[in-house]
Amino acid sequence: MDTISQALSHGGVQGVYRHDAASTRCPMTFAVFVPPQARSGPVPVLWYLSGLTCTHANVMDKGEYRRVAAERGVILVAPDTSPRGPGVPDEPDNWQFGCGAGFYVDATQAPYDRNYRMWSYVVDELPALVAANFPADMARQGVFGHSMGGHGALTVALRNPGRFRSCSAFAPIVQPSTAGWSRPAFEKYLGADPAGWRRYDATALIEDGHRFPEFLVDQGSADGFLQDGLRPWLLEEACRKAGIPLALTMREGYDHSYYFISTFMEAHIAWAAERLAA
């Protein structure tokens, strides 16, 4: 693991790191904020999964999380959203697919199956690296994310309920297998049979019996992707039928941007920290 940068912030350390990832077969960059409490011993870990077109840098630069993460004593890890670099297949003119749009799946279709293994990266490889190199209490983990990353957070939590104590999302893609802006990517990554997509779809996972104790979701009412891509009411219906508590709040006038995310970031980290407390 190489250190790209480190800076003191709110008494903690904001770092950016790079390593050669075995799962994606390319170098991967990620950000980690370590709060001041970590000087006294391991602290909880909160994973933030970013949305389409993003890298680790979007939330690091615009998410406004460091003060509350420092106050609450949680490490915040922000992975990249896809493999990158020479030899990684991409569609440069398609923001909904390829680099910046890994959708947190393990691709099964050539040529994407060689590099696009973001599920294995964020669920297995990067957590092992974080556990080995940072003062992280891996028995206390939470996950949250935005848009495509909200989709990732929901599916990761539903498939790993014993690992994560909290899961929340900003404007998640709750049913990517049918959404207009994610269905084409699923077909390219996972093949033409929608049955193979269900393990990466939050509503399908709930229908298939997966459970999580509770979810927190914030959604802007002025989000331009609300009707076509996000459709939080589908998650609301799935949770209602399954008896999963869901705190879904429609935020009047807010859009899909980091202005929206940064406004409610403190509430999400505080909510997670309560569930990550010893």
Residue 199 CB neighbours (<10 A): 17
Chain centroid to CA 259: how far? 18
Token pair recorded at residue 20: 């050669």
Q: Which of 146, 210, 256, 268 is catalytic?
A: 256
- CA–CA distances in Å: residue 63 to residues 145, 150, 193, 261, 270: 11, 15, 37, 7, 14
Q: Partners of 220 in the beta sheet?
A: 251
The residues with which 145 forms a beta bridge, in sequence order, are 49, 169
Residue closest to 101 by CA, chosen among 113, 86, 90, 111: 90
**Residue 177 annotated as catalytic:** no
The catalytically annotated residue of 80, 90, 201, 223 is 223
Sequence-distant (6+) residues with CB within 8 A of 182 are: 96, 103, 148, 151, 173, 176, 229
Q: Is 256 a catalytic residue?
A: yes
* Residues written for the chain: 278
User: What CA–CA distance (Å, rounded) separates 171 from 148?
Assistant: 9
Catalytic residue among 23, 82, 147, 182: 147
Distance, in Å, from the CA atom of 212 to the CA atom of 174, rounded to the nearest integer, reads 15
Run of H or E residues at 149: helix 148-159
Pairwise CA distance, residues 166 & 154, whole Å = 10
Catalytic site includes residue 19:
no
Q: Mind telling me the catalytic residues?
A: 147, 223, 256
